[in-house]
Structure 1
Amino acid sequence: MANYEQQSKWKGKASEELAGPKAEQVWPLLEDFFGLNKWFPTLTTCLAVEGINGQPGCVRYCAGFKTPVNNGDQITNWTKQKLLSIDPKDLSFSYSIVDGNVGFNSYVSTVKVVPNEGGCSIHWWYEVEPVEGWTLEDLNTFIGSGLQVMAKRMEEALLHPHASSNQKP
């Protein structure tokens, strides 16, 4: 039997600062619940399963992402994620993982965009039952590094929207 930490649920928070883009610019990118694959690293697929994008109860299927415990496995990781609530005034939403093959049971997360002087920051709170084969540090690394890449990609897209089409030969 695996020896899990005594905590009944693992809890964590990741935060990333975006220099330049305002919270109102970043929010629409996050609010697109079915568009996570545009921003999250190694996530190759994000498809609507049910419901209307951005409305509580909608479900997305996410696949292809790598985790800190993959160890070169050829398995395709996947989850189905349900939007629990969304608050455009507060620039936040919550979702849960309702199915998947990565062992995330009772996973609930809240993502919020917070304005600040130099732009904004994204905060990602999460909690999950201990995951077999993982440590809390693995989970913190997975979400923290994922958010870091997401923030960088969003920053680039907002500050240099035509960078790829303006490159000179």
Structure 2
Amino acid sequence: MYPLHMQWSLGYHGNMRCLLRSTISKASQETAEEQKWKGKATTNLKDLTAEEVWPFFEDFLSIHKWLPGVDACSLVEGVSGEPGCVRYCTGTAVPTDGGEESVISWVKEKLLSIDPVERCISYEVIEGNVGFESYIATIKISSGSEDTQENGQSGSMIEWGYIVNPIPGWKSEDLASYIDSILHTMVKRMEEALLQAKS
């Protein structure tokens, strides 16, 4: 047993070490969070209600029908549409470096949550060769913006939020522009599919 003043000293310095470790750990976690890219793309649909748009996103295995560059999507783990299930998506990309051979890109994505009442779905990239590490997306479909509601239109709004580690060779603005572009292309395809189904 150490004398009382030594016990206090050891306890104090031990607590300081724990506090220091905790502070360093918290600081490095905050630094890692600060290094991540966060963003959100939003689009309004004047002619489609949230109820009409939601089924396109609710079907976790139909992404290849709407997302440009994705040729196929299949279930590789779990039960389709239930949190924890994993989809495997593939696509063919034409090389930009002047090469002649096409490159097969692939990604495995895990469904984190799905809420049909709130019309919200969240998933993460768990593996792939597309350069997205620790990518988590949350897509929410809601009733139209305040503008459409004030004008008596139903409409809907899609919000695609994301967080991801920095992508080598890209800027955060490049990713924001890419997400915005594919969201608008997806919406156009969905609108065409619904118009075709109604005619």
TM-score normalised over the length of structure 1:
0.85
The runs of 5 or more residues in structure 2 that have no matched partner are: 1-32
Determine whether 1:111 maps to 2:142.
no
- Look up the equivalent residue of 2:195 and give its one-letter code: L
Q: 1:71 aligns with which of 74, 96, 117?
A: 96
Q: Give the corresponding residue for 1:160.
A: 196
- Aligned residue for 1:140, secondary structure, equals helix
| Structure 1 outlier segments of 4+, above 6 Å | none
Moved more, 70-79 or 42-51: 70-79
- Aligned residue for 1:93, secondary structure, equals strand
Contact kept, 8 Å, 1:20 with 1:159, in 2: the verdict is no
Contact kept, 8 Å, 2:93 with 2:103, in 1: the verdict is no
In 1, Cα distance between the equivalents of 2:122 and 2:156?
19
> Structure 2 vs 1, CA of residues 128 and 65 (structure 1 numbering), >3 Å: closer, same or farther?
farther
Taking only aligned residues, the RMSD between alpha carbons, in angstroms, comes to: 2.0
In 2, Cα distance between the equivalents of 1:162 and 1:151?
16
The runs of 5 or more residues in structure 1 that have no matched partner are: 1-5, 164-169
- Aligned length, in residue pairs: 156
Determine whether 1:21 maps to 2:48.
yes
Q: 2:116 aligns with which of 88, 97, 108?
A: 88
In 2, Cα distance between the equivalents of 1:66 and 1:54?
28
- Look up the equivalent residue of 1:14 and give its one-letter code: A
Deviation at 1:19, TM superposition (A): 2.2
In 2, Cα distance between the equivalents of 1:134 and 1:7?
17
Q: 2:57 aligns with which of 7, 18, 30?
A: 30
In 1, Cα distance between the equivalents of 2:140 and 2:75?
22
Deviation at 1:162, TM superposition (A): 5.8
Deviation at 1:51, TM superposition (A): 1.4
Moved more, 154-163 or 50-59: 154-163
Q: Which structure carries more helix by proportion?
A: 2
In 1, Cα distance between the equivalents of 2:39 and 2:92?
20
Percent of residue pairs bearing the same amino acid type: 47
Deviation at 1:66, TM superposition (A): 4.9
Q: Give the corresponding residue for 1:121.
A: 157
> Structure 2 vs 1, CA of residues 82 and 32 (structure 1 numbering), >3 Å: closer, same or farther?
same
- Aligned residue for 1:76, secondary structure, equals strand
In 2, Cα distance between the equivalents of 1:60 and 1:150?
18
Determine whether 1:148 maps to 2:193.
no
Moved more, 72-81 or 112-121: 72-81
- Aligned residue for 1:104, secondary structure, equals coil
Q: Give the corresponding residue for 2:4.
A: none
In 2, Cα distance between the equivalents of 1:41 and 1:124?
16
